[in-house]
Structure 1
Amino acid sequence: MPEAKEKGTQKVQEFKTFVKAHPHVLKKVKRKEKTLQELFEEWMLFGEDDASWYEEEMDEDLEEVSEEKSIGGMLSALKQMNFEEVQKGIEQFSGAVYSIQEVLSQFRSKPKPQSPYSQSHSPFPFRHD
């Protein structure tokens, strides 16, 4: 019986070493997708060479690479940008918006001016002395 306990302790130590070498495995525990016990059981069943342990690690690596590429692409685009042309484009856009506002204001119905008779309560246009 002591041999079984010793063997179990040895497997736990091996699993700890595996987790230290592959910290991405613990993300499932942190996200509460799996318990540590479940991960240990899967590790015992499939072994540490199973591809499922490395899929998430590869996904993370791909995400990091794509983020670096997108940031690098934005920086190179900023370097190549001619800010005078950008300013001209903004001014043209602003002018176009102003023109559209002018056209729209011509089509809006203008409120009818009220006659002086409608403002008083009396139907007669003269005042009482």
Structure 2
Amino acid sequence: MALIWAEVRKMTEKKLHPSVLQFKEFVKDNPKIIQEVRKGKSTWQELYEDWYLLGEDDSRWETIGTVNDSESDSSSESKVDWMSSIVGMVKKMDPNQVQGHINNLSQALGAIQSVITQFQGNNPAVGSVKPPEGPKNPFMFRKD
């Protein structure tokens, strides 16, 4: 199987423009470029055009790795800030007010359910399933 892929690769490289082959070699030497494309920060077309116009010695290629490091640090700090803001909001909540909102939501859902059952009609055989009936008093014991 590996031999087949090697042959396919050779056939496609014969058809590629020499500048594309040079760009592929440049990318192999700079793996941070691959990471930038995988993260979605750039496309291969954009990077190829920059490489073709600016050349391999441009400062853009040196800053790719350093920009990613600073962005990852800032993203981890933003996650910590987000969590601390959530914890702060939970501390400020009034339990009685939250309970009131939950009760209002429960009443609204009950009203919606009653409207839906009115539109469904009074035909219980169509979509409703009755739970099995058990004994009337499950704790009925005999006296000795």
Short-chain TM bin: 0.3 to 0.5
Q: Structure 2 length as normaliser, TM-score? A: 0.41
Q: Structure 1 length as normaliser, TM-score? A: 0.46
Q: In terms of Rg, which structure is larger?
A: 1
